[in-house]
Structure 1
Amino acid sequence: MFRDKTPEAREVARLHKRIARLKALARIYKRAEVTQNALLAISNLAASVTSQEEFYGVVYDSIDTLVPTDNFFIATLNSKTNKIEIPFFADEKDAHPHDLYPNETLSDTLASGLTGYVFRTGESLLCDNTKYQKLLDNNEVVSLGSDCHQWLGVPIKNNGIITGVIVVQSYDKNINYGDIDLELMNFISQHISTVTEHLQHQEQLEQAISKRTKELSIAYEKLKQEVSERRRAENLQKTLFEIADLATSNIDNSQFYAEIHNVISRLLAANNCFIALLNEQHTGLSFPFYVSQFNSPAPKPRPLQDGLTEFIIQHQKPRLFHKNDIDELISSLSVYTQAPELNNTRQIHQWIGIPLFIQGKVIGALTIYSFNANQNYHESDLELLTFVSQHIATAIERKLSAESLKASHEQLEEKVAQRTQALALLNQNLEKEITQRKQIEYQLQHDAKHDNLTNLPNRAMFMEQLSQAIKHLRRHPQDKFALLFIDMDRFKLLNDTLGHLEGDRFLIETAKRLKKCIRVNDNLARLGGDEFVILLDCINHDQDAIEVAERVLKALARPYQLTQKMFYSSASIGIALSSSQGTDTSESILRNADAAMYQAKSDGKGCYVVFQQQSYQQVNNIQLEKELRQAISNNELQISYLPILNLTTQTLIAFEPRLFWLHPQLGKIKQVQINNIAQQCNLHIELDKYTLNQLNVDFAHLQAYCTHSVQIHLSLSSQHLKHKHALRSLKNQLKKCQFNLEQLYLFFNERAFAQDNNIHINAFESLAQLQVKLGIYDYGSVNGAINSLTFLPISVLKLDPSYCTHLESGSYFKLAKAYFLAAQALGLTLNATGITHSDQIDKLKEIGITIGQGQPLGQVLVLPKTAALDCA
């Protein structure tokens, strides 16, 4: 029988058991601490690792401290080739798979073993000999490598996709793997996946950065090239401007060529440079410019020989020669055969020769060369210098022309001292012309749209501005604009008397005055001759256009200072207002303003007329001609009588009848307008007969206004004198008049007389037999011969109205005085017409003219309408 243990023995036994358990727990905690440190090292490394090989080595060292590993390797799947690779391998028995299977594809071999099984299943595999044999029997794997005790493989997954397998093996039967080892391996596989993804992203980022860096580098190089090319282009442009400026500069030859050299030096190295020019006979060369880095003296003028310069001039092509090229020319006897003393090319490294052309002909050559092998010229330099040489040749041409002119001026100055001032002025004008040639190049577009004389917009530009105004009006119908068509009165007479130069000065001064009459946003243009137009933009009322027209008339009525004399002028203005209905075109509104301007001229000039559509019909309109014929037939035309007075006594002497027509739609149509219609439809003779018939009725009433025998001054058409039957008809009508024909003065136009004086002389002699008085009106409007008047049985001359308008001008005053003296010498009376203010009366009295007619001399007389008797 066993003897029971004592209490002391039982307590000792219990303490031994507790100590054993404590030692076991200490071992477990110690292993847990080691495991935790290893896993922390792996985690920390996963965040900072830069390569997978580095990470795999640390993983292997860490696993080796936690799990006994006789064999450890990592298999990965290459995403590009879809092949299995072994980036890390450590084994105690087997060599690397590359060495074990040299004749087989490593990927296919691994795919057939346990590694491939984990790839296919995607699950962790803890395999001993029993399970391994089962897999072999089921043909799921094939036997690879040495036999092991246990095999543990864990898949590496990235976003659910297997990218690799981590494997450990044990060959020792005392080493067994459990769930803790499996869990540890899964944890490590996750870190391997994270590191793999991190490294892939890092690699992609580095590739993207590298690619972007390369693109930026290429773009930067392109930008540098563009900037360089642009700077070079700007430098070239600046160079050309400087060359052009040199051509017009007033500097001597040495400074001129030195400046040319400075310009070339900024484009390329030109330490050695010279310019050679042919003489006028093209038989010799001179060297107006020469510079050498060795301070060699400039070559003296020489006859043409066979040097390199002559070679360039002869072949007329730019050339870049290297030392061997020059040697070949010398060897081939192309240069320096006739004049070997000219050969100074032994030290030359490169030589550029550019022929200089003026008007297609070679006048010389530009040459640069280098002695230093480090200073190289290229084909691009040759092209650049060739381009610049064209402008240099032009500059030289202008310089030579200026020098030639200067030399000619000096020679003439020596021979003809009294013409020094004229020649100097001519020289200045030529210099200005040379300078202006450059300015013209920049103003081609400006000149195409502006008047050369006044610098105002011309017709083409104004029509564009008018078209834009009409387009604006169509978009904004509430706006309004006006067009003023301005025609200077008697401009042709100014050109004929004072000359075209003074006429141009007159137009320039007129343009200046017109500019001061308009706003900044208004447009002023010259259409041609003495015609100007003003486009008044955005006016509020029609009255605005009228105010501008009145301002223009006032400005143009001021005297002009021409040829050191005062000249008076006036203008006729037609005003056309825009329509809110959008029917205007640039042509129609200009035509309307033009028509209104002609109406203003017909109304006596020096005024404005606003275009009214219903008031302006074409004078050749069939309906208007028909209405005029009917008005004559129905005795609807009326006569107003303009008084003619003695300027000294203010006594009434005569009346001048003038027709007017009260049209039911067009209103009052004056004599000038009626004459325009009559000219188109050949009604002048009928109008004159109508006037004579009405005079038979009105004569007795007219006589009552005068204390003595009143005179009637009647202007007739020269159509009465051109045919015998027309003259006979006029004489018959005069014979039937019921008043004394000695009181009747018949006047004919001077222009018609000048065109055919023979007919007028014969007809005047025939009419004089009826005791009527004869005269010429608009006298002085043409350059007729005074002696032709001696053949006419006339007694009175009526001076053209323009002379009264311009009496303030000394030339007009003298001309009117000459006409008066000529008439006085011929025993004729000279009457003034077109008097507009009292100052003119004093001037006329000063000349000696005592009879005149015009607005200040009394109101026009209109008698009650009475049916006329037909005297035909």
Structure 2
Amino acid sequence: MFREETLQSTETVRLHKRIARLKVLALKYKRAEITQNALLDISNLAASVSTPEEFYSSLHQSLKKLIAADNFFIATLNPVTGRIEIPFFADEKDLHPQDCYPNEDLSQMLYSGLTGYVLKTEQALVCNNDTYQQLVNSNAIMPRGSNCHLWVGVPIRSAECTTGVLVVQSYDSNIHYGDIEVELMNFISHHISAVVERLQYQEQLELAIETRTKELSIAYNKLKLEVYERRRAERLQQSLFEIADLATSNIDSLEFYEELHRVISHLIPINNCFISLLNEERNTLSFPYFVSQFDLPSPKPRAVSDGLTEYILLNHKPRLLERSDINALIQSGELYCEAPELNDTQEINQWIGLPLLIHGKVSGSLTIYSYSYSQNYQEKDLELLTFVSQHIATAIEKKLSSESLQLSYEQLEEKVHERTQALACVNEDLEEEIHQRKRIERQLVHDAKHDNLTGLPNRAMFMERLSQTIKHARRHTLDKFAVLFIDMDRFKLLNDTLGHLEGDRFLIETAKRLHFCIRSNDMLARLGGDEFVILLDSVGNQKDAEDVAERVLVELSHPFTLSNQQVNSSASIGVAMSDSSNSDTSESVLRNADNAMYQAKSKGKGCYVIFDHGNNKQQVQELELENELKMALKKGELQLSYLPIMELDTERVIAFEPRLFWHHPTLGKVKQLQLNNIAEHCNLLIELDNYLLASINEGFQTLEQQFGVDFHLQVSISSQHLNHKHALRSLKNKIKQCGFDLSKLTLFFNEKAFVQNTNNHINAFEILSSLNVQLGIEAYGSAHSAISSLTFLPIQSLKLDPSYATHLESEQYLKLIKAYYSAARALELEIFAVGICSKAHCQVLSEIGFKKGQGIALGKVFELNSAKNQACA
């Protein structure tokens, strides 16, 4: 009995155990079924969703059916930027990490936590509090977020690469995650990778389709624009052809302008337009064509004023004006200020004006305007009309030229008819015209042999008469003749001072006075300028010729009345007597008289000299003198002297003008002026200047020891240095060799040379000014150069011509001196008076404003060894 009960109880226990196992298996099967259904839902979900956000949200709902996943988030790694992103986040306690840590970088924060740890290790992680603390203590992670009971993270893999982390966590200690949950999450992570790849591919595909669609749309629009532009170009070309045809058509003006309007209307809509043209005097506007949508009458021709049409003609530019632009121009006074009655623009919305270039200048305009706000012209319309207007202007020009030519033909026919009638009358006057021509021929013959101003025989007639006289003297050896060559000493100065009109009166008066000095059989002629010549026919001896010369000198010494003032003049006369050697020619006799005249000038002017064939000996002597000067330059026999330049009021020495002199064994002391004359004849001016600069450099230290350092040197230099680049380069090198401060050196060039070759001086002055030397013009006023020419020169100083200081009693000279002084001050140039001979001169010049000068009244030229005594004297 007991055994049976035992067996029964054992069987009961076995049955209970079997029932318990069956319940567990039933629970597993049910869980497997739920898992399978959830996984099927996830698989179906992966195929049905269209965005990652939709997939992640649905995934979360499905996962919650399998495990406790109220706290769930997905972290993904952006393959482009390499940064961690959280596309889905759900948590019971914490906010989104971006909101929890707003001041930290989300990607770096996740990299430093458990999420980054799973990404780095690429292994699933089940982390409890102990595991979490071990990772923190080993610095593998940084503590982030609220404390949780369990944290599970599995990597999301794609093509052997980890692309994210799937995370669930629990704050409840009753919830546990085991291998089954981890395996389940691993399975889900594979689906996540595949779905994300599919969605990304789908997104890229849609983006590519959208991009391609935009490209096709742009290409289509471009094609439409190209087709439009091509059609527009065809219409423009057709319009230009029609405009060209109009230019050669025979239609009248009204029809011509109507056709132009029609052609332009094919390009843009034009309801209101007109064409305006200027007359030849450019003071009247006419309107050959006018059309208005309101059938307004055409404007009548009117004087040029300040309307919109004149605005376009004046500015020479096409303009598109809005209503506001027109109002602004009216308010600024540019439009309708002179003629407000012309303003009929109150209702105009837009206004286009295009200038028309006719016969090489703006002579008209094409105007288009609109009253409607619905019809708006744009800049492209202005550009189109501007292009077309050029062809319109050409067509109008051809049309006007054609009409002008037609009018010319008609006028020509009328003139031919009139001329035909006039020819009948011409024959009657032909005989009178022949007589008139003969008189003119006789006058031409007379003019060809006579001076137009004085009526005297000219050079050609005089040489013809002299040649006849020489031939007569050869046949009649007892008959003698003489030639007097007369040159007025101050004519150029009088001509430049008083003007050419007074100069002509002076020459006429001179010719009259010379007539009083000769006989009726003698001949008086004018060679040109202020040169007169007298042929004394049949003189007894040389004394007769001298008497005539003295008579001429006396007659010409009497004052001339010019410009209501008395002017004194004189003459230099050269006398050449006939030669018994029969070797005379008209040229040689005149040349001999000319040479004698120059000898008279060298003797001081106002006298006469009889030509002597012995003068050849003097020429030989001059040649010897030139050779001696060359040797003196080589041997260094020329010495240096200085002329002081002082302040007029204090007579303090401020500068010196170095001058050369030469102790000649027979001629004695030859001064700088004579040296320059000799050097000019033998072409040694450049060598003489180089010698002067070398002497200045050698004696500068001694001059500085005697006078201190507060002075300048003013050196006269020949302009021959500036005639070619080699001479200029040599001058530059000579200046650079000077061992003293070049800012104390002023180089003066003659005004006459500057006038004769202005360009060379301007270029050379620019080069010389770079050497730190100062530059100036001397003898200023002798050539009367234009004051404006000084503005082109980098000069600092002017020296007045010495002749002005010797004529201070003349009012004309005083006016010139004051003008020169004012001009120099206006140009900020330092000006020096030269040739001051007395204290009275100093007083007059000081009153004008001169501060500095030189001359015998201020100090004579001295040699260096006695410099102090002479300068103080």
- Give the structure-1-normalised TM-score: 0.42
TM-score by structure 2 length?
Answer: 0.42
Higher normalized contact order (CA 8 Å, seq sep 6+, divided by chain length) = 1
